[in-house]
Structure 1
Amino acid sequence: MVHLPGTFADTLAVLAVALGIEAAAGYPDALYRAAGHPVTWIGRLIAALERGLNRGSERRRRIAGCVALALLLAVVGALAWAFTALAGLLVGPRIGPLPAVLLLGLICASLPAQRSLHQHVAAVEQALRTGGLEAGRRAVAMIVGRDPERLDAPAVCRAAIESLAENFSDGIVAPAFWIGCLGLPGGALYKAINTADSMIGHRTPRYAAFGWAAARLDDGVNLPAARLAGLLIAGAAALRGADARGALRAMVRDARHHRSPNAGWPEAAMAGALGLRLAGPRVYDGTLVPDAHMGDGRAEATADDIARALALYRTACWLQGGLVLALLALCLTLAG
């Protein structure tokens, strides 16, 4: 008989293992070179579906986009459930679910990106300090979509901090939230939705209709994590002597005015915690995109502010891990 490790305690244990492995080792470069990454596998499937289905009238493209998203989720969900079922074969009456939890935790470690996000944002700080503005522009172009040549030094710093805050939500807290709720299937399905949104959820002539379903679904599945990410940043600010009240105040006042229904929460929290003013109008592909400002502090961000943001980020990641362990301990206590 196959025993699926599917209780809330099981999924929290899987999540704790995954976060620990990813924080310690990230996703090994050798493994990426040899086999790619789940996001690249998902991306190839999305690209194939888009090439085959994205044509015709606007109405047909929107329907095709819904069909493509459903097919994507069916494939990813089936594979994730199959891996969970295979792990369930390791569960026995003498050893319990531990081997399955460890195996699933190892697989789930590929879904959050704590270590790589820190490395990419720290690279912007280091580039600005050692190579000046041009080096900073090249480094920040690796993590943001706006036109780097239009960015002065404070704008490069703000872009790095905004990317750190937003990706803390959808790159770390959101996959962790869905792994904790639903195990590997939850994390994998979230990653599929988020990858689809990043590839086809753009308001461009090619993708506006076809990617409509992916963008709307991504907004929905990120909603709880974005609020939680903002609270974790505020908690980190309290622990590190930053402005926790400012973080909460900026979230309540500014987050709902962001052009994204979710990104404003962690961005506003980070802005308030650091005494900065983030977001606002930005240029993407030569087009000015209007947006509200998050926070009411200074706009002249520096490399030191990136370092302060990274310190808050590290503490927020530790807070998330501590919250997972506390919930796991509570579940085990109640079960015992």
Structure 2
Amino acid sequence: MLLSSDALWILPMALLLDALIGDPDRIWRRLPHPVAWLGALVAFGDRHLNRESWSAQARRNAGFLWTTALVAAGLAGGHLLEQGLRALPLFDLWIALAASTLIAQRSLYEHVARVRDAASLEEARAAVSMIVGRDTSRLDEAGIARAAIESTAENFSDGVVAPAFWFALAGLPGLVAYKAVNTADSMIGHLSARHRDFGWAAARLDDLLNLLPARLSALLIACAAPAAGGRTGHALAVAARDAGTHRSPNAGWPEAAMAAALGLALGGPRIYAAGPVEAPFLHEEGRRDAVASDIGRGLKVLATALLLHVAMWIGLAAAF
């Protein structure tokens, strides 16, 4: 289904189901989560096709072919699942439930809230390490808070807005294919010696698929800025000004909008597994000494943006 009215009505149902249910541990302790299946496919290709003895070009070609195979598997698997669910009574509810497993609103909020509520610096470092890729072992309170807030903004884009966007465009096939690429990007799409070439195609395709969702995410965060005392126009202006300075063509949009919404300077130098990254600050004129209460303000912006996001799709469904 391509921008069909039933897809647009099913999507708000999926978002509401995810907000209410999330990812219940009692279920996913017994069954592998769909993202775990996708991760297993990515890992299989990494083990068998990413040969250190091959040339850089051969590894890049192998990564391109495996990324193409992942997209094809996602489209085919999503199509078969959707057609099977459409044969059931109340198929729209079942499709919404399936889609909700690949949308991460509630889990994002809960993971960030754990950082905000941590009782000690070590506990906060452990909590934030679950949602960021950087080295958290030496982060101080300000570094932890900034990392949590940056992750809130970036994951709102690629964990919520982008999956919803691709479901609206292409139903479960589009959603599963997007999650396959996004999972591959998170696992192999970085600049380590092992993955610089093999993960190149996954990283570039993920950039392409997130191009519009990232900008939509920045708009939603900017509209939610008053929830934390920010201004929508200012957040939009900062996003437009600073997004291009981020090393990602997409992550800078929601992160810069969030920085301006909270009056903080986000980004800057940080250390990843692949090594240190010298990056400019987003909203450099903002305050850098972020604290736990700023994480709480970021969650207010997130909650408001999530509500605006659901309202947007309901409005589009009504108008379609």
- TM tier, shorter chain? over 0.9
Shift >4 Å, 4+ stretches: none
Q: Structure 1: where are the runs of 5+ without partners?
A: 92-98, 332-336
Distance in structure 1 (CA, Å) of the matches to 2:42 and 2:167: 22
Distance in structure 2 (CA, Å) of the matches to 1:8 and 1:239: 33
Percent sequence identity over matched residues? 50
The reply to whether residue 195 of structure 1 matches residue 183 of structure 2 is yes
The reply to whether residue 101 of structure 1 matches residue 80 of structure 2 is no
SS at match of 2:210: helix
The aligned counterpart of 1:172 is: 160
Spell out, residue by residue over 1:153-209, the C-alpha distance to the aligned partner (whole angstroms, 9 max, x if none). 111100000010110000111001111111111111110000000011111111111
Contact preservation (8 Å) 1:147, 1:286: no
Distance in structure 1 (CA, Å) of the matches to 2:145 and 2:229: 21
Q: Which of 216, 226, 231 is the matching residue for 1:243?
A: 231
Q: Structure 2: where are the runs of 5+ without partners?
A: none
Contact preservation (8 Å) 1:69, 1:214: yes
SS at match of 2:29: helix
SS at match of 2:289: coil
Q: Which of 278, 303, 308 is the matching residue for 2:292?
A: 303
The reply to whether residue 83 of structure 1 matches residue 74 of structure 2 is no
Contact preservation (8 Å) 2:3, 2:168: no
Distance in structure 2 (CA, Å) of the matches to 1:152 and 1:88: 51
Distance in structure 1 (CA, Å) of the matches to 2:3 and 2:153: 31
| Counterpart residue type for residue 102 of structure 2 | L
Q: Which of 15, 23, 30 is the matching residue for 1:27?
A: 23
The reply to whether residue 65 of structure 1 matches residue 59 of structure 2 is no
Q: Which 10-residue stretch deviates more, 42-51 or 216-225?
A: 42-51
Contact preservation (8 Å) 2:191, 2:274: no
Matched ranges for 1:47-62 at <5 A: 47-55=43-51, 56-62=54-60
Distance in structure 2 (CA, Å) of the matches to 1:36 and 1:106: 16
Contact preservation (8 Å) 2:2, 2:169: no
The aligned counterpart of 2:208 is: 220
Contact preservation (8 Å) 1:61, 1:210: yes
The reply to whether residue 153 of structure 1 matches residue 153 of structure 2 is no
| Counterpart residue type for residue 73 of structure 1 | V
Distance in structure 2 (CA, Å) of the matches to 1:267 and 1:7: 28
Label 1:106 to 1:196 Cα distance change in 2 as closer, same or farther (>3 A).
Answer: same
Distance in structure 1 (CA, Å) of the matches to 2:205 and 2:66: 13
Contact preservation (8 Å) 2:128, 2:148: yes
The aligned counterpart of 2:12 is: 16
Q: Aligned-residue CA RMSD in angstroms?
A: 1.4
Spell out, residue by residue over 1:133-169, the C-alpha distance to the aligned partner (whole angstroms, 9 max, x if none). 2221121111112121221111110000001011000
SS at match of 1:83: helix
Q: Which 10-residue stretch deviates more, 305-314 or 75-84?
A: 75-84
Measure how far apart 1:241 and its partner are: 3.9
Contact preservation (8 Å) 1:243, 1:275: no
Contact preservation (8 Å) 2:2, 2:168: no
Distance in structure 1 (CA, Å) of the matches to 2:73 and 2:229: 46
The aligned counterpart of 1:316 is: 305
Label 1:60 to 1:8 Cα distance change in 2 as closer, same or farther (>3 A).
Answer: same
User: Normalised by the size of structure 1, how large is the TM-score?
Assistant: 0.91
User: Normalised by the size of structure 2, how large is the TM-score?
Assistant: 0.96
Distance in structure 2 (CA, Å) of the matches to 1:208 and 1:286: 10
The aligned counterpart of 2:115 is: 124
Q: Which 10-residue stretch deviates more, 6-15 or 58-67?
A: 6-15
Contact preservation (8 Å) 1:226, 1:265: yes
Distance in structure 2 (CA, Å) of the matches to 1:7 and 1:137: 42
The aligned counterpart of 1:96 is: none
